Amino acid sequence: MAVAARHHRLSARLATGLLLAVASLLGPLVARRASAAAPFLPWQRCRNSGSYAANSTYQSNLSKLSAAVRTNASRDLFVSGSTGTAPDAVYALALCRGDANGSACGSCVDKAFQDARELCPSDMDAAVFEELCHIRYSDLNFLATMDNGEPINVMSPLNVTSPVAAFDAAVNILLNAVSDYAAANSSARFATAEERFDGSNPSIYGLAQCTPDMLPADCRSCLASLISMLPQAQPGRQGGRLSGLRCGIRYEVYHFFYGTTTLQLPAPNIAPTTPPVADVPAATSGGRTKNNTRIILAINLPIVAAVLLINIVILYLCWKRPARGHAPSNIAYPEDAESIDSLLFHISTLRAATDDFAECNRLGEGGFGAVYKGVLLDGQEIAVKRLSQSSEQGIQELKNELILVAKLQHKNLVRLVGVCLQEHEKLLVYEYMPNRSIDTILFDPEKRKDLDWERRFKLINGIARGLQYLHEDSQLKVIHRDLKASNVLLDSDYTPKISDFGLARLFGRDQSREVTNRVVGTYGYMAPEYAMRGHYSMKSDVFSFGVLILEILSGRSSSTSFSSEQSVSVDLLSLVWQHWTTGTVMEIMDSSVRANAPGDQLLKCVHIGLLCVQSNPDDRPMMSTVNVMLSSSIVSLRAPLKPVLFIQQSGDYSTMESESHRTASQSTGNNKSGAMSLNEVTITELEPR
């Protein structure tokens, strides 16, 4: 395999080198966009600070750590850690590009470690940069600092046809803007941007990224140091990148990253620069200039033709002959199969982790089965959802959901660890959330005292970022359809993570709304257009988020009725609206936050919550706008209108048919005794619309 891989890389580099030779010979006669990365992948930094022997303790530690890094990188896109003790300790870091999915990230990291062993054989300190990721391992603890190291500097071999000074100035504006956003407005410390330019280069695309563990100020400083190096590189190039261990930047004249751009920038206002006038040889008697041109063409054209022919033959042979042991794939989305394969657990592993699903490890029970706490051999705590034998959820539907969740990577989404489909069992494995779901704390009179203002504001911000990722920033466009307090889990630091994608739906990038004949979900959180007409969209999730904001601030459940000032039973939205219009909304806020919450900030959050629950979906803000409202102190908010009112009868919402009500109850597990599971991650049955 190693020989085949090396042969494949050699063929690719040879083919790329020949293409570049052709481009350099043809010059302006060939209009070609080249990636700065293509000619020299991968890049390596081999530090000859020491070497390790075959079968040594250091090599064994390196193998263990590289396997662990590869597994965790496919989940988080960023990993740093160590194993062993000095002098055989190994420290490692891996960072994948923020637009990569988990499967692609894991494969890239795995390849990077393999390339490191080939390119830096036996070196104890090595770094390798691939297209979608980079890694470094060392016997020195480089993780203790945020040092970016010596960056890789790669510029496109092609010059722009636009005025060089104007183009370089536009690149500088683009990279500074995308760096600002990546550092300050992204929890992943990653952003992309597109900037309009001119006719010859209609757009310039940029990317900036730091490791997520960097503080915003440190990230921006790191990126600024790279941007300052660009003028020292060759000016007027169509693309370029500077990549260090902790941060990196890149720009191209084509769309080189996955998904849509984070920022859209207008054409910069740059004074036009008069291009230099090239020296033109004067015509001479006897047509010497023409003769010289003919001689040059007569020499170069056969060479170009020969190089092109050789290149075509090589590319044809490489294309026709697949790597040994691998059949050509005709699957439309091969990464889906890879995602599933990487998530598979053996039944014996989960039985051992949960003591064969012992009752003492039982955390609770939801609508489709029990949840058990488990501990894997490496010490990782997990929550295992054991779907009941009577569940009608099919294997194919389950795999479809797994593919969806595996592609979603964000700190505010619960992480799927794996799945097991053996011995008639259907087991879902999620990361363990020690602080349970929000509802188990928020609606408990004693426990909710732990949720001070700082933590509640953190909950609101985190859920908003997770929803924006689902709606606007991920490679997929996902409508959750069942956002509620029991579907938001809390880790040890009270970081909120959205869970339960059983009802989620994928939208096309240009799709804005869908209609279903079977309405499922949870009462009290459903948008009126969905509950009554089956219309759902991103704005349906926004409505649920607005309800959740008001629950977090007031400590009151949307499924409970309250007595109004007129002694009439009303729902939570009606209660908040009554107090909002009378200026007494602070009276119904939870006592745990009234004492220490900044009054203006608390009122702003209530205001945002009311804007999110407007009756007309068009009146509700997008989640990206909500995040701007939450983070800015100068954004003015429009006045909310009266939110929709639900009619309650005997504690049940009567806006829908009883069959839908039963489905909604089943999806949440509330038809049980009222005790919520510790990890309320349910899988809801999927049916065609």
Residues contributing to the annotated binding site? 385
Do residues 254 and 38 make contact, with C-beta atoms less than 8 angstroms apart? no
- What are the two backbone dihedrals, phi and then psi, of residue 171, each rounded to the nearest 5 degrees? -60, -40
3-state helix, strand, coil in the chain (%, to 5): 40, 20, 40
Q: Which two tokens stand for residue 656?
A: 């829908």
Do residues 407 and 99 make contact, with C-beta atoms less than 8 angstroms apart? no
Q: Identify the active-site residue in 110, 115, 123, 482.
A: 482
Geometric angle at alpha carbon 93, from 92 and 95, rounded to 5°: 155
Do residues 564 and 612 make contact, with C-beta atoms less than 8 angstroms apart? no
Catalytic residue list contains 482: yes
Q: 189-211 burial by CB neighbour count: b if 16+ within 10 A, else e?
A: bbbbbbbebbeebebbbbbbbbb
Q: Which two tokens stand for residue 279?
A: 């020296």
3-state secondary structure 246-292: CEEEEEECCCCCCCCCCEEECCCCCCCCCCCCCCCCCCCHHHHHHHH
User: Can you say which residues are annotated as belonging to the binding site for ATP?
Assistant: 385
| Secondary structure (3-state) at 48 | strand
* Strand 247-252 with 240-243, pairing: antiparallel
CB-based burial of residue 373 (10 Å sphere; 0-12 exposed, 13-18 middle, 19+ buried)?
Answer: buried
Which of 318, 36, 29, 25 has its CA nearest to residue 171?
Answer: 36
Active site residues: 482
